[in-house]
Structure 1
Amino acid sequence: MTQFPLVRGAHLVGSINQPTADGTFRIVSEHLGADLARIPDGEVGERFHWILFQGAAFDATPGLTRLPIDPIIVAGFDLRPLALDGTVESENLEFGPLGYASAARDSYARFMALRDAGVIAPHTRFQVCLPSPLAPITSYVFARDQAEVYPAYERAMLREIDAICAAIPADDLAIQIDLATEFAYIEHVSLGGGPLEAWFIETDDAVSETTATLHEPGSPLVIDGCVRLAARAGSHVPAGVELGFHLCYGDVAESHFVEPPTSANLVAVANGLRSAVRRPINWVHLPVPIERDDAAYFAPLASLELNAETELYLGLVHHEDGIDGASRRIRAASAPLTAAGIDQFGVATECGFGRGPAERTAPLLDLHAAVIAAVAP
């Protein structure tokens, strides 16, 4: 009889609809704490809409100016692109603090108080979720100037990582890097201003590819470029701190910006990170659309290559179809994962659920635990 992988543990991608970090830690610990190795703070406050608050960091950077067009308001944030205005050379651009380190310090203080009080289980790590530098650059910088502005923003994000790691002991800390915008490039789709052009392709490699090939979904050169940039951020996380990657197809009104036809591009990115990141990767999270419980979607998982220390979490828990839907997706994933030599994995939602209704939070946390119990041997 074929031995399928065991389902053990759960993972929270990041956003959770609670008003405070304290509220997140309490509700998560009460409803799912026994199945979690790490707990995020729920991306509360200005981080509620993921990276949209980063516009203020771009506005505050000398040398960048908003395009003189009507405001583009999304969730109360102005998404008008910024461009180099000629007052500062691009190599001299200097971003100030981005806000991630200060938020992490504040939330960690509450995390420690609750762990010391026994609310949070011992040995649970505090999880900090960060976007890849590519995401804010894509959202806020005029396409023509993205390549020139990227190094300055990347330096600022690496300083945020340094500050987080200086403030929080390594054995208490887990850092997750969110890769969502990358899949808009990989799938060559629009996030509002036309299909994204992968400006970060290595020139020597790109000359061997036709423009049509570069624009096809799943272009190896685009995948390699996305992996290379993400690996620089991941490799910067010091030893002792756990590192994970959340791979994502977006979550706007509980919809993807494009529905992946299979998990092939997710597997390609995960395998690329394994080779490119110069330190251990402790977990990888892959989304599973609610419509997919078929063999075709999961078949590429047979080629997934993870090191022994890397935990796999599949985002196959959906509140709409509960235990039955998750169980179908688990069964469909099991054979290809067995072929890949993966003997256990954990469960998650496909993205954070902070922008869903708050009253859904506790039942959704309970659903994770119920799914794990339902498929236990």
Structure 2
Amino acid sequence: MATRTRGDVLLVGSLPFDEASDALRAGGELLGEHLRGVPDGEVGDRKIWIGFLPRTVYRDHPGLDLLRAPEGGVQHQPDAKPDVWEASFLFGIRDGVETLRFDDLGYGRLALESYREYRRLRDEGVIPDGVRFQVCLPGTGSAVSYFFGRIEDWPRAHAAYHDAIRREIEMIAAVVPAAELQVQFDLAMEFVDLAAGEGRGIAHWPGEPLEARIQRHAAYLDELWKGLPDEALLGYHWCYGTWGGWPMKAMPDLGLCVRMSNEAKRRSGRRLDYVHMPVVRDPDEAFFAPLADLDVGDTDVYLGLVHHDDGVAGFNRRAELARRHLPRFGIGAVCGYGRLPAAELPDVLALHRDCADALAAARA
């Protein structure tokens, strides 16, 4: 495929629209030449991200019991940071169920619907040639552990999710040419857990030492990529979450992001194309110091240096600090923009474009 893209900007995933066509058009028109892949915005039922799974998969599953539901039976974005574990559904595997299976997570079907819009917009020239179709999927801890209240159920629930995700990826890859596909896994509740250090990050998760938690979450990376064709791109977004405001947990430096990046590189049984690490609004140089321990070979690194409330000047300040520890990187925001008012998005994406131009000028 011919390309005229720079690939120096990553759109993390969610965009504030009701239709995938609107999200794809916005990415293509406003930022297309800078993108490696364009997401469908995680629209519709996926607007509350992993809140999609209880409503569409878990709640009516014959092998599951509902242990707890949010007030009113629906999760809502809170105005302030909640006790995140108290805001969620919790499920358990029903007695007598030995093997759990999720026949249809919905991600594959919805991706193929969005792909038709992607092809149409690309054929119209709205999405530049060479910009891939980006599919975002939740990591195991976010999609499963967060919603399963009994740790003894986790091995079967995790196995069921990994099997289902592989089938979802295979469904997508049967239609989307590998050269047009980019799959990204988003790990958020995992980082809520890790950021708690030696404390308890989520109430029903085990209160293990930090190293044990890192190994537990890293082990799931052995499975998530399976079924993805070699020519497709694989990336990970290390996410500190926007539930009640970003970040959901304190982020003193990039140490956890670096550690999980190294684990992902080591554990992916195929090429790892990129990782994305969010960056706080006012970091000091020590914030970036863990990048010295980054060991990911030729994997691209996107740093979440774009904060839409302090413009190019704030970006340049953060980028200058980052360059002292990592000479070359791409850029993005800290997370997705699904909860931003849609009217603000054009200015936000224009800022990404201006920041990318500033990055290119600094490299010259």
Q: TM-score, normalised by structure 1?
A: 0.86
> Match for 1:324 among 310, 313, 318?
313
- Displacement of 1:127: 0.3
Question: Which residue is 1:209 aligned to?
Answer: none
How many angstroms apart in 1 are the aligned matches of 2:70 and 2:326? Answer: 49
Question: Which residue is 2:9 aligned to?
Answer: 10
Question: Which residue is 1:62 aligned to?
Answer: 62
- Displacement of 1:160: 0.9
Q: Report SS of the residue matched to 1:129.
A: strand
How many angstroms apart in 2 are the aligned matches of 1:235 and 1:100? Answer: 16
The range that moved more, 327-336 or 146-155, is: 146-155
The answer to whether 1:129 aligns with 2:136 is yes
Q: How does 1:112-261 map to 2 (within 5 A)?
A: 112-144=119-151, 145-188=153-196, 194=203, 196-197=205-206, 214-215=208-209, 219-261=210-252
Q: Report SS of the residue matched to 2:329.
A: strand
8 Å CA contact 1:127–1:176 kept in 2: the answer is yes
Instruction: Count how many residue pairs are aligned between Structure 1 and Structure 2.
Output: 343
* C-alpha distance 177-68 of structure 1, shift in aligned 2 (>3 A): closer
Question: Which residue is 1:74 aligned to?
Answer: 75
Identity, in percent, stands at 34
* C-alpha distance 288-187 of structure 1, shift in aligned 2 (>3 A): same
| Cα deviations by residue, 1:290-341 (Å, 9 ceiling, x for unpaired) | 132x111001111112222x21110010011111111111011111114xxx
How many angstroms apart in 1 are the aligned matches of 2:190 and 2:28? Answer: 32
Q: Report SS of the residue matched to 1:245.
A: strand
Runs of 4+ in 1 over 3 A off after TM superposition: 68-73, 188-191
How many angstroms apart in 1 are the aligned matches of 2:296 and 2:93? Answer: 41
Question: Which residue is 1:357 aligned to?
Answer: 341
Q: Report SS of the residue matched to 1:102.
A: helix
8 Å CA contact 1:8–1:345 kept in 2: the answer is no
Q: TM-score, normalised by structure 2?
A: 0.89
- Displacement of 1:96: 2.0
How many angstroms apart in 2 are the aligned matches of 1:30 and 1:232? Answer: 35
| Cα deviations by residue, 1:88-140 (Å, 9 ceiling, x for unpaired) | 22xx2121201100110000001001111111101111000000122121232
8 Å CA contact 1:60–1:95 kept in 2: the answer is no
The answer to whether 1:367 aligns with 2:351 is yes
The AA in structure 1 aligned to 2:238 is: L
8 Å CA contact 2:7–2:35 kept in 1: the answer is no
- Displacement of 1:346: 1.0
- Displacement of 1:156: 1.3
Q: How does 1:259-298 map to 2 (within 5 A)?
A: 259-292=250-283, 294-298=284-288
8 Å CA contact 1:259–1:289 kept in 2: the answer is no
The AA in structure 1 aligned to 2:189 is: T
* C-alpha distance 69-184 of structure 1, shift in aligned 2 (>3 A): closer
Q: Report SS of the residue matched to 1:14.
A: coil
The AA in structure 1 aligned to 2:60 is: A
Aligned CA-pair RMSD: 2.1
How many angstroms apart in 2 are the aligned matches of 1:312 and 1:195? Answer: 33
The AA in structure 1 aligned to 2:141 is: L
* C-alpha distance 239-81 of structure 1, shift in aligned 2 (>3 A): same
